[in-house]
Amino acid sequence: MTPVRDLTELDAPGLAIELGLTAEEYDKIVDILGRVPSKTELYMYSLMWSEHCSYKTSKAFLKQFPTEGDHVLQGPGENAGVISAGDGWAVAFKMESHNHPSAIHPFHGAGTGLGGCARDIFAMGARPIAFVGSSRFGSLASEHQQWLFTEATKGMVDYSRGFRVPFVAGETYFDDAYEGNCLINAMAIGQLREEDLIRAQATGVGNLVVLIGGKTGREGIGGASVLASADFGDVAEGESPVVEVTGVLGDPDEGRRLSEACLELQSAGLLIGLGDLGAAGLTSSASEMAARAGNGIEIDVATVPLKEEGMEPFEIMVSETQERMLAVVEPDNLEAVVAICAKWELPTTVIGKVTDTGNFVVKKGNELHGEMPAGSLAEDAPPVTRAESRPTYLDELNAFDTGSLAHPAGVADLNKTLLDLLGSTNLSSRAWASNQAADIAQERVVLGPGNDAAVVRIGDEDSMRAIAISADCNGRYVYLDPYCGSQIALVEAARNVSCVGAEPAAITDCLNFGNPEKPEVFWTFTQSIKGLADGCRALGIPVISGNVSFYNESGGNAIYPTPVIGLVGLLDSVDEIKTLDFKDEGDVIILIGETKEELGGSEYLSVVHGVSAGTIPALDLELEVDVQKVVRKLIAQDLIKSAHDCSDGGIAVALAESALAGAIGATVVLDDDLAPHASLFSETQSRIIVTCDGADAEKVLEELHDAQVPYSVIGEVGGSRLMIEGVIDLPLSDLGVAHGDALGDILGA
């Protein structure tokens, strides 16, 4: 082959800087290659060594996470994490961000965020069975934020519908901190037999590298590196100035057919390895697959089917065109692979082969455009050391005296406060979520949106096994205390799963932060990682996959640090699950845990006083473990009828939600010696409201006593009003009107 030397010692460093590489990184590339890199090589390194692909800033800190556990089959390092779920079944799941593309074109950006996660799942040999979304926007008083919220939501639902996989859970929050940068985090969950687990590795010298899916275009060129530091705060409604540069255009039906084809190929034993073409396209998938196997790989870009003529080799190698997969196939199986893909109307093209050189070779016919050690692309990005310092604003914010905002104790005023909280954008009904996805196949869904956690059946048609899924994070808490706030995100996800009776098994995460080059931002990141790592060890929950998203800021203003936790728990039988709704007249209401005056960072402060400050609720991890454990035990023994996490909005909001869900009221006495507004709206952690039949109350209390957790009998289910002695007296009809579906009205749901 004839080597292409299209860059000189003079122009190569300039292109490197233009592509986002540092001078030091360029020098390292020269050292690795022993020569001036070609244009194709520079583009490939610039993408693979970008923050988005290499995690060069965060990788060292992520090593703090526990990644092994009783259920773990595959931890970090593959397309998705995988856990054993019993009876030979396994569950694969992964959460990723698509924040920057969604800020430009929310409909396609959010939709293809789901598509990328789905490809990560079936790349492991798992059938996608559920989607989860976690999103953040600015205040809905802004028309621009309404547009972002509406388009992003519809984009995710549209992709879900086209892929024929249901949305089962999620969270959506609104705060001025996200005005300049929305967050769109997507999670996909799939099931597989343990023996069908496949990994993205290019093994077997001489095996063929096969591109499956649509033609390659210029979408996404430079996406991972350009978008990581872009400022999109001023993009107007309907504008998409760099849609063709961000690779945000997807086809959910093609994605579904791609999934079906790959699963059929796996079932037939025709795949040696399978990788998703996401960020950096062919470059990332091929280099990672080769590096994992310790092999080399050779690709001829002249064989790659193109959407348009004249594409240069570097464009083909870094294109982020959606709905494509890279497979490694034995030559004798090629004909069968082509036939199966043709059945699903998918092009299949041999574009290269596995070699024993350890090098990633890019050629165009007889022209050599690149030859690099595959591992240097996938694994050798120089780590970046960042300065960090505790933000000075924390002293003032944490010192804020929440007690100085005394609330009048009058019943009428507190009634209004509860109604205001229930109708706020962060606590109002999320019925729009289930309404939007009502026509998507729901056969496996036992509990969907609106519950503490979703429950999805796994296994064959007769299986009773299920998983519970929750996604959680209170960014305001993390802003005020990155270490403890991150742990609260973790324990709330686990608490929600425990409330339906499932055993928390593992998490995926999506760590959203501002510019890590700012010492104060980077400090929040390192504290968050430490908090999560310590929390995971205390709860015995490993981290098996995840994503880091930096540079989420606009106009110099960073988002709240938002480490979203996606947690999956295991259930032996769907018959064991409990829900949050009050059930029957006369049932006893018990509060597990105790309420303290902890209003810092609360929804009450935000909605009623317009303040985001104070000291956030304390967290006793040992108590949290004990509370969740005893609730799961009570559910397993069928001693309680309902369980509901008490968190955002406090006990008053939790009681109202359970009453509305069950269409039955309650009479409650809160005997905690706190000021009425603190008693009602404090967000003290490690609290769960449960109900039981009166005949079972004594046994329930015995179990709570033996577990050595705080508890109190606070009331009785019944009637058509929510009455909290001395402070709240409202008919369910008023609660329902306040809780409403304001977000659904915006969506037109």
Q: How far is CA 749 from each of CA 152, 154, 155, rounded to the nearest angstrom?
A: 14, 10, 14
Residue of 576, 601, 320 whose CA lies nearest to 481: 601
SS3 sequence of 329-385: ECHHHHHHHHHHHHHCCCCEEEEEEEECCCEEEEEECCEEEEEEEHHHHHHCCCCCC
- Phi/psi at 56 (5° precision): -65, -25
Q: What angle do CA 132, 133, 134 make, to 5 degrees?
A: 130
* Nearest of 85, 731, 49, 70 to residue 469 by alpha carbon: 85
- What's the farthest any 2 CA atoms get from each other in the chain? 87
3-state DSSP helix/strand/coil % of the chain, to nearest 5: 40, 25, 35
Q: Is 677 a catalytic residue?
A: no
Spatial neighbors of 492 by CB under 8 A, at least 6 apart, are 470, 472, 474, 645, 647, 685
**Pair 607, 659: CB distance under 8 Å:** no
**Would you give the end-to-end CA distance of the chain in angstroms?**
59
Whether residue 515 contacts residue 521, with contact meaning beta carbons closer than 8 Å, is answered with: yes
Q: Using DSSP bridges, classify how beta strands 296-300 and 359-364 pair: parallel, antiparallel or unpaired.
A: parallel
> Is-catalytic flag, 98?
yes
- Nearest Cα neighbor of 237 from 147, 176, 150 is 147
- Distant-in-sequence, close-in-space partners of 33: CB < 8 Å, separation ≥ 6: 41, 371, 372
CA–CA dist 167, 251 (Å, integer): 18
The catalytic residue among 52, 71, 105, 108 is 52
Task: Give the integer Cα–Cα distance in Å for 564 and 545.
Answer: 12
Give the whole-angstrom CA distance, residue 150 versus residue 142. 12
CB 46 within 8 A of CB 16: yes
Q: Identify the active-site residue in 71, 98, 105, 677.
A: 98
Would you please indicate which residues are annotated as catalytic (active-site) residues? 52, 98
